[in-house]
C-alpha cells in the first residue's frame, strides 16, 4: 500500500489561536444564518448543517484548544440566529454535549488516523466519513434525547427526527470539512494569481459548471414536474468532475452543487414532507463524489510513486553501469600507469647517471610522484565503486586542503583564478580516506574555477575560498565558496543527480560520486546560492576517535 506523508500540523501561537478563534466564530455564525431554514421547532433541525463541518475542521487543525470557541459559537448561534427556543440551561447543556462529541471525534481522527489538511493519504476520506457519521448519530441521540427527556418533544417522533438530524449533520460535514481541508492551502495562491489553470482546463471547468447548472434547471426549472424524478441527473456532472480533477474537484463540485440545491429548493418552495427525500439524495450525491474523487487522487499518487521509483531504478541502473565501467577503466589504466612510472623512474636514473641539470631531475621526480598518485587514485576509486570501502585514518584537515589546492593549482592558474584558505585554529583530526576526500575537494575546486572563469571576475579578493570549522558536535565542516554566477533554481534542485550536467563535455557524475563518498564517510554534502552571488558547497567529516580535544599540527 502507498501512503502520502501526513500533512504537518499547524503550530498555533497564542496570537494565532486568538485570531483563528475569532475567525471561526464569525464563520460559524454566518454559516448558521445562511443554512437556517425549514427548521423543526424547538429542535431547529435544518436540511443541512454546515457549522458542524466547520467544527470538525477547526478542531482537526487547532486541537482541543479550540473547544471553548466551539461551545461559545454554538451558544451565540442559538441566541442570535435560532432565537433561543428553549431555556438557557438546556442550550448550554446541549451545546456542551455537541462540543465534546464532535471535538472528541476530531481529536480521534487527528491523533489515531493522523488526518489533517490535504486529506492526502489513502483512506482518509472514508475514515473521515465513517467516524463523523457515528459522531453525528451520537450527537443526535444526545441532542434530541435531551429535548424528549425535558418533555419538549414527543417520544414517538424521536426516530424520524433523529434520522432528519443525522442526515443534515452528515451532509454538512461531508460537504464542508473535506472542502476546507483540501482547499485551505490552495485558495490564497489562487487569489494572488499564481498557479491559475491554463485556458483548456478553464474551459473544461466552465463546461462542468454549466452541466451542474443544467442538471439543476432540469430538476427544478419550469419544465420539471412536482415529483422531481430527474434528480439523478446531478450525478453525471459530479462524476465527470471527480474523475477529471480528483478529490479537490470532488469537494469543490459537491459544495457548489449543494449550494445550488439549497437555493433551488428554496426558490421552488419544497415542502417539509419531501425535504427528507432530498436530504437522502443529497447525502448519496455528496458521498459518491467524495469517494470517487478520493479513488482518482489515490490512483494519481500511485502513478506518481511508480514513475518516481522507475526514475530511481533507471538512475541506479545507469550508476551500476558507470561503476562497472569505472572499475574496468581503472583496471585497464593500471598497466599503462605502471609502465609510465617505470619509464619515468628509468629516465630519472639516466639523468642522474649522465649528470644532467638538477631542474630536469626535479621535474622527473614530480612526474614519478604524480604517476604514483594517479595509480593510488584509480585503485581507491575501483575499490570504492566495487565494494563501497575506504581506507580511513586520522587526518589533519589543513593538510587535506593544502594538498588539494596543490593538485588543483594547474587548473586554477589556467583559469586565472585566485584561491585562499580560512582554516580555524585547533581543528581536530578527521577520520577519512585521504585520496577520496582529496578527489571530492579537487572536484569542487575545479567546478568553482570554471564557474568563476565564466564571469570574468577580477579584483584583489580571492575568487575561491576554502574554509574549515567545527560543525555540529563530532564533525568538521569544509566549505568551498566561489564568486561565480551562482546556481539557477532548476540546476540547484538536480545538482547531485547522476548524469545531470551543464557542461558540454561533462558526464554529470562528479558531484554524484562526491556525495556518495561523503555519505560513505558518514557526512553530508550540500550546496546553496550565496546572497552576494556565487555558490557554497559544504561537506562534513566525522572527527577521529579521541581527536576531539587535540589540536591540528600546522
Establish if 400 belongs to a structural domain: yes
Q: Three-state SS string across 26-59, please?
A: HHHHHHHHHCCCCCECCCCECCCCHHHHHHHHHH
Same structural domain for residues 361 and 455?
no
Q: Does 4 score more than 50 pLDDT? A: no
Can you spell out the DSSP letters for 416-459? T--EEEEEPTTPPPEEE-HHHHHHHHHHHHHHHHHHHHHHT--S
Answer with the residue of higher pLDDT: 402 or 355: 402
Query: How many domains does one find in the chain?
Result: 3
Residues 382 and 407 in one domain: no
Q: pLDDT tens-digit profile of 17-31?
A: 889 899 999 999 999
Answer whether residue 376 is part of any domain: yes
Contact criterion met (CB below 8 Å) for 242 and 289:
yes
Is the predicted pLDDT of residue 3 greater than 50, yes or no?
Answer: no
**DSSP annotation of 393:** E
Q: Are residues 423 and 325 in the same domain?
A: no
**Residue 454's domain is classified under what CATH number?**
3.30.565.10
Enclosing domain of residue 101: 11-186
C-alpha cell at 301: 499518487
Contact 73, 28 (CB under 8 A): yes
What integer pLDDT is reported at residue 493 of this predicted model? Answer: 63
Residue 545: pLDDT band (50, 70, 90) is: confident
Q: What phi-psi label fits residue 395: left (phi over 0), alpha (psi between -120 and 50 degrees) or beta?
A: beta
pLDDT cut 90: percent of the chain above it: 29
Q: Is 415 found in the same domain as 380?
A: no
Where among 186, 217, 232 does a domain terminate?
186
Q: What is the mean pLDDT of residues 398-422?
A: 87
Q: Residue 244 in contact with residue 289, Cβ under 8 Å? A: no
**Residue 197 confidence (pLDDT):** 63
pLDDT reading at 234 higher than 60? yes
Same domain? For 379 and 362 the reply is yes
* Residue 466's pLDDT band (cuts 50, 70, 90): very high
- Do 151 and 20 fall within a single domain? yes
Query: What are 170-187's pLDDT values in tens digits?
Result: 999 999 999 999 988 666
Domain boundary among 135, 151, 186: 186
Q: What is the mean pLDDT of the chain?
A: 80
Helix (H, G, I), strand (E, B) or coil at 487: coil
Interatomic CA distance for residues 33 and 80, integer angstroms: 9
Between 158-167, 361-370, 470-479, the lowest mean confidence (pLDDT) is in 361-370
Confidence of residue 501 (pLDDT cuts 50, 70, 90): low
Query: Would the pTM of this model clear 0.75, i.e. be above it?
Result: no
Cβ contact 178:128 at 8 Å:
yes
User: Taking a C-beta distance cutoff of 8 angstroms, is the pair 447, 402 a contact?
Assistant: no
What's the confidence (pLDDT) of residue 319?
A: 56
How many residues in total does the chain contain?
A: 554
Helix (H, G, I), strand (E, B) or coil at 537: strand
pLDDT of residue 9: 54
Measured between alpha carbons, how far is 124 from 122 in angstroms, rounded to an integer?
Answer: 6
- Shared-domain flag, residues 325 and 460: no
The backbone torsions φ and ψ at residue 464, rounded to the nearest 5 degrees and listed phi first, read -130, 130
Same domain, residue pair 487 and 365: no
Residue 357, pLDDT > 80, answer: no
pLDDT exceeds cutoff 50 at 8: no
Assigned C-alpha cell, 361: 631531475
H helix or E strand, kind and range, residue 385 = helix 358-387
- Asked whether residue 547 carries a pLDDT value surpassing 70, the answer given is no
Q: Assign 5 a pLDDT band (cuts: 50, 70, 90).
A: very low
We report the CATH number of the domain holding residue 375 as 1.10.287
Residues 373 and 404 in one domain: no
> Cell numbers 433541525 label which residue?
45
Rounded distance, CA 395 to CA 339, Å? 31
pLDDT at residue 107 in the model: 94
φ/ψ of 468, rounded to 5, equals -145, 130
Is pLDDT above 70 for 430?
yes
Q: Are residues 27 and 146 in the same domain?
A: yes
pLDDT at 16 over 90: no
pLDDT winner (highest mean) among 363-367, 409-413, 455-459, 473-477? 473-477
Residue 2 has pLDDT above 50, yes or no: no
Percent of the chain at pLDDT > 70 equals 78
Grade residue 134 by pLDDT with cuts at 50, 70 and 90. very high
Residue 547 included in any domain: no
3-state class (DSSP) for residue 350: helix
pLDDT of residue 152: 76
Amino acid at each position: 500500500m502507498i501512503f502520502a506523508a501526513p500533512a504537518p500540523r499547524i503550530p498555533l501561537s497564542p496570537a494565532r489561536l486568538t485570531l483563528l478563534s475569532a475567525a471561526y466564530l464569525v464563520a460559524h455564525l454566518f454559516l448558521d444564518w445562511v443554512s437556517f431554514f425549514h427548521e423543526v421547532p424547538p429542535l431547529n433541525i435544518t436540511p443541512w448543517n454546515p457549522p458542524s463541518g466547520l467544527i470538525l475542521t477547526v478542531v482537526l487543525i487547532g486541537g482541543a484548544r479550540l473547544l471553548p470557541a466551539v461551545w461559545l459559537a454554538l451558544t451565540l448561534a442559538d441566541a442570535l440566529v435560532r432565537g433561543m427556543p428553549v431555556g438557557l440551561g438546556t442550550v448550554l447543556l446541549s451545546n456542551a454535549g455537541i462540543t465534546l462529541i464532535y471535538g472528541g471525534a476530531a481529536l480521534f481522527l487527528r491523533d489515531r488516523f493522523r488526518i489533517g489538511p490535504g486529506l492526502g493519504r489513502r483512506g482518509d476520506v472514508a475514515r473521515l466519513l465513517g467516524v463523523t457519521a457515528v459522531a453525528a448519530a451520537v450527537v443526535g441521540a444526545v441532542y434530541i434525547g435531551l429535548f424528549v427527556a425535558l418533555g419538549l418533544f414527543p417520544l414517538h417522533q424521536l426516530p424520524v427526527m433523529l434520522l432528519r438530524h443525522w442526515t443534515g449533520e452528515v451532509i454538512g460535514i461531508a460537504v464542508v470539512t473535506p472542502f476546507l481541508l483540501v482547499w485551505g492551502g490552495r485558495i490564497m495562491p489562487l487569489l494572488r494569481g499564481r498557479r491559475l489553470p491554463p485556458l483548456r482546463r478553464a474551459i473544461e471547468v466552465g463546461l462542468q459548471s454549466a452541466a451542474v447548472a443544467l442538471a439543476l434547471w432540469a430538476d427544478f426549472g419550469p419544465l420539471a414536474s412536482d415529483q422531481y424524478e430527474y434528480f439523478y441527473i446531478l450525478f453525471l456532472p459530479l462524476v465527470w468532475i471527480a474523475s477529471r480533477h480528483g478529490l479537490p474537484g470532488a469537494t469543490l463540485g459537491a459544495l457548489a452543487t449543494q449550494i445550488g440545491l439549497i437555493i433551488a429548493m428554496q426558490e421552488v418552495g419544497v415542502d417539509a414532507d419531501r425535504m427528507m427525500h432530498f436530504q437522502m439524495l443529497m447525502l448519496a450525491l455528496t458521498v459518491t463524489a467524495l469517494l470517487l474523487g478520493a479513488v482518482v487522487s489515490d490512483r494519481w499518487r500511485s502513478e506518481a510513486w511508480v514513475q518516481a521509483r522507475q526514475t530511481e531504478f533507471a538512475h541506479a541502473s545507469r550508476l551500476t553501469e558507470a561503476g562497472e565501467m569505472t572499475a574496468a577503466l581503472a583496471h585497464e589504466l593500471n598497466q599503462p600507469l605502471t609502465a609510465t612510472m617505470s619509464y619515468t623512474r628509468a629516465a630519472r636514473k639516466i639523468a642522474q647517471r649522465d649528470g644532467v641539470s638538477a631542474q630536469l631531475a626535479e621535474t622527473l621526480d614530480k612526474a614519478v610522484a604524480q604517476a604514483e598518485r594517479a595509480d593510488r587514485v584509480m585503485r581507491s576509486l575501483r575499490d570504492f565503486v566495487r565494494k563501497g570501502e575506504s581506507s580511513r585514518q586520522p587526518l589533519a584537515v589543513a593538510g587535506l586542503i593544502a594538498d588539494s589546492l596543490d593538485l588543483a593549482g594547474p587548473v586554477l592558474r589556467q583559469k586565472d583564478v585566485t584561491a585562499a584558505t580560512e582554516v580555524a585554529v585547533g581543528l581536530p583530526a578527521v577520520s577519512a580516506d585521504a585520496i577520496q576526500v582529496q578527489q571530492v575537494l579537487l572536484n569542487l575546486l575545479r567546478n568553482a574555477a570554471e564557474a568563476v572563469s565564466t564571469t570574468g571576475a577580477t579584483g584583489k579578493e580571492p575568487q575561491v575560498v576554502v574554509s574549515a570549522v567545527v560543525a555540529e558536535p563530532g564533525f568538521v565542516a569544509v566549505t568551498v565558496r566561489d564568486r561565480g554566477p551562482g546556481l539557477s533554481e532548476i540546476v540547484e534542485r538536480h545538482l547531485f543527480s547522476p548524469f545531470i550536467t551543464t557542461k558540454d563535455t561533462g558526464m554529470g557524475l562528479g558531484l554524484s560520486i562526491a556525495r556518495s563518498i561523503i555519505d560513505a564517510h558518514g557526512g553530508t554534502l550540500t550546496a546553496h546560492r550565496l546572497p552576494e552571488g556565487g555558490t557554497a558547497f559544504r561537506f562534513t567529516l566525522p572527527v577521529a576517535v579521541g581527536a576531539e580535544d587535540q589540536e591540528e599540527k600546522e
